[in-house]
Amino acid sequence: MTEQKAPHLLDAAPGLNRDLDLSKEQLDAIAALGFRFYEQGKNHDAEILFEGLIALDPNLYYGYAGLGAMALRDERLEEAEDHLSRAAALKPNDPTVYANLGETLLRQAKFTEAASEFDRSLQLDPQKRDAGANRARAILQGMKSVVSEIQRVGAA
């Protein structure tokens, strides 16, 4: 007798919100709660909410951004790249998504692609207010310092 796997929320028909008709404010509140759970380390709860957002509306970027951030944190880099790429395509003006995508690509040694995503993150945050873009700035500064030190040592 084979064991049947329980249905997964993401296996549900896409666009469940067509029937539920939740408002943008309600969907934003679910996303905010998901990110709060993520920040508090309540990973299971955060994952359920992010997956739920995707099931409710596969065109909302919040679910993909949240699942991508969680996958990046857990070093599931291919999964992070998939989710964050989808989030970036859905909301191309979020500097944090591009910073996370850049970091994901950097950890995969995709240096040219990572630099491009970091650059986009910085362009979207010229006032230097976004935490994700500021993290990208710090990563780039650290990389410049390492390259400079390698060049200095190599020249000696």
Residue 26: both structure tokens together: 């309600």
Q: 113 by DSSP, 3-state: which?
A: helix
pTM metric for this prediction = 0.83
What is the C-alpha separation between 15 and 22, in angstroms, rounded? 11
CATH number of 11-155: 1.25.40.10
Task: Judge contact between 16 and 56, C-beta under 8 A.
Answer: yes
Domain ranges of the chain: 11-155
Phi, psi for residue 59 in degrees, rounded to 5: -100, 5
**pLDDT tens, the chain, 156 aa long:** 444 544 444 444 457 667 678 888 998 999 999 999 999 999 999 999 999 999 998 988 999 999 999 999 999 999 999 999 999 999 999 999 999 999 999 999 999 999 999 999 999 999 999 999 999 999 999 988 988 888 888 887
What is the C-alpha separation between 65 and 8, in angstroms, rounded? 19
